[in-house]
DNA sequence: CGTCTGGTTGATCTAGATCAACAGGAGTGG
DNA sequence: CCACTCCTGTTGATCTAGATCAACCAGACG
């Protein structure tokens, strides 16, 4: 299932510029290039499992990864989606603790693995990398706090609309003609896990949005009928 | 309300060792000592407000601080409690963004302020400090993800019990005789905001815990009748 | 063809929000 | 000293969002 990807160089990696490696200079960039191991994954593949030890970090070059967390009762939640340019596994590496969630491939992906020893020595030699990780971590912290606030203050309908707007930003088609049409990157079940509700409720809420002319769903395609309407709703409603 | 505290030296600060400044060497420790400005605050004082610009960071020397976040609808949530040894405000400083929440004093506190310019230059000169901030941020991230998981999977009773156990760890009396008696550091209202529920529900849930012999409340004093029971409950119940 | 997985719908039940009243301090001010 | 308001907390009654259980359908896949 997991196979070695074709050759690809960090220098030419278009997603590197939006990652923690954007600041790398020529020499350490080459070092990273030699150290990294690109692999390709398919949907459903597991990159690492919650509770296992951290072997290194994974830099997402293309595709989509989901971080899932299980609790002792078997409840599962989709904690975060990671786009190309994102790096996963660094938290466990730095804290020297087992992975706190499972990284699951949601769309065909190319991922570069960098062994923990390499990362540690780069952290030692180049202080800027630590600051990049810090900045990355602070962004995730803000995002997670926002999600927490949402989960205790907003109802399912509002959370779903919010998630749709986020998808619109992150996955909206770049071509101008079908601006407000997006392709959902995940299944309805996963969507339910992402906003913290039951699949049945997800289904019903989608129906409601359609009845209320806020959004239209066709399989994984979604059209937001009136973006301003949706934003108005989110800014006024409970 | 806010007044200059008496002289106190970082070298002798017992809480420094559990903060990001634990790694400081002699020279930069003296620099920090000269730069910091200790202040004392009383309950209800605001250290900084959500949405305002970051002037610097605040190192909690004694007392208790609450980080509160408001959303556009006026909902308020207590995002985090910060004990002595904790540092607040560093997130906005590093991200160069307005404070994402309000820091409110919950118990009489002594807090050392360090201007942003000083922190920035220390970050430049001593890479270890950046790593300390990183580690700190990763801990907060884990904690927030846990809170998020709890809020979507556990009911109010379980969340309250969990909070009590956390209080037990963080605020439990050090003397051996009254081991399982703790003093709640916050009001019931704030407790409700901390676990994300309404004050009325908080009140009723407390009654339930007493009826079920799990914990006894007397004002702000709480006695967990059987710690093992509570932990069993948390590990099996939904 | 059966089996499985993902999604939809219907019926039911309940945790918890909400609205409302009230009770005990703690000031404050005459 | 009483009368007043303000604030925190408790209790009661009601209502609803959403979980849960169950049946069902459609496509995928052996």
pTM over 0.75: yes
pLDDT for B93 beyond 60: yes
Q: What is the reported pLDDT for B231?
A: 77
Q: In B, residues 13-52, which contact A (CB 8 Å cutoff)? A: none
What are the φ/ψ torsions at residue B34 (nearest 5 degrees)? -70, -30
Report how far apart, in Å, the C-alpha atoms of B36 and of each of A227, B57, B81 are: 48, 10, 22
Q: What is the reported pLDDT for A238?
A: 53
Question: B168 CB near a chain A CB, below 8 Å?
Answer: no
Q: What's the rounded Cα separation, in Å, for the pair A238 and A155?
A: 7
Query: Does residue A207 reach within 7 angstroms of strand C, measured from its CB?
Result: yes
Q: What is the reported pLDDT for A232?
A: 77
For B235, the enclosing helix (H) or strand (E) is helix B227-236
Q: What is the reported pLDDT for B179?
A: 64
The structure tokens 């509570």 sit at: B230
Q: What is the reported pLDDT for B52?
A: 97
Q: What is the reported pLDDT for B102?
A: 95
Per-residue confidence band for A173, with pLDDT thresholds at 50, 70 and 90: low
Q: What is the reported pLDDT for B4?
A: 45
Query: Does residue A233 reach within 7 angstroms of strand C, measured from its CB?
Result: no
Contacts of B232 (CB under 8 A, 6+ apart): none
Q: What is the reported pLDDT for B177?
A: 47
What are the φ/ψ torsions at residue B64 (nearest 5 degrees)? -155, 135
Per-residue confidence band for A3, with pLDDT thresholds at 50, 70 and 90: very low
Per-residue confidence band for B233, with pLDDT thresholds at 50, 70 and 90: confident
Instruction: Report the percentage of chain B scoring pLDDT > 90.
Output: 67
Closest nucleotide (C1' vs CA) to B201 is: C16
Region A50-57: what's the mean pLDDT?
96
* Mean pLDDT of chain B, nearest integer: 88
- Name every chain A residue with its beta carbon within 8 A of the beta carbon of B237: 73
Per-residue confidence band for A4, with pLDDT thresholds at 50, 70 and 90: very low
Query: Does residue B202 reach within 7 angstroms of strand D, measured from its CB?
Result: yes
Q: What is the reported pLDDT for A178?
A: 54
Chain segment A90-133, per-residue pLDDT in tens: 999 999 999 999 999 999 999 999 999 999 998 988 888 899 99
Question: A229 CB near a chain B CB, below 8 Å?
Answer: no
Q: What is the reported pLDDT for A2?
A: 44
């Amino acid at each position: 299932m997991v196979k070695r990807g074709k050759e690809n160089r960090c220098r030419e990696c278009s997603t590197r510029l939006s990652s923690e490696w954007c600041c790398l200079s020529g020499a350490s960039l080459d070092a990273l290039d030699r150290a990294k191991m690109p692999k390709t994954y398919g949907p459903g593949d597991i990159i690492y499992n919650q509770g296992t030890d951290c072997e290194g970090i994974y830099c997402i070059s293309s595709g989509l990864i989901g971080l899932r967390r299980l609790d002792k009762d078997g409840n599962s939640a989709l904690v975060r989606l990671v786009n190309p340019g994102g790096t996963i596994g660094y938290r466990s590496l730095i804290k020297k603790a087992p992975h706190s969630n499972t990284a699951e491939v949601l769309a065909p992906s190319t991922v570069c693995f960098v062994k923990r020893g390499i990362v540690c020595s780069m952290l030692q030699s180049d202080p800027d990398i630590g600051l990049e990780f810090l900045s990355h971590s602070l962004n995730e912290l803000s995002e997670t706090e926002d999600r927490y606030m949402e989960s205790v203050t907003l109802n399912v309908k509002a959370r779903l609309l919010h998630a749709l707007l986020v998808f619109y930003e992150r996955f909206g088609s770049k071509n101008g003609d079908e601006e407000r049409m997006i392709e959902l990157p995940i299944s309805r079940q996963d969507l339910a896990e992402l906003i913290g509700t039951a699949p049945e409720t997800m289904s019903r809420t989608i129906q409601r949005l359609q009845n209320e002319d806020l959004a239209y769903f066709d399989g994984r395609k979604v059209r937001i009928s009136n973006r301003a309407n949706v934003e108005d709703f989110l800014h006024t409603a409970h």
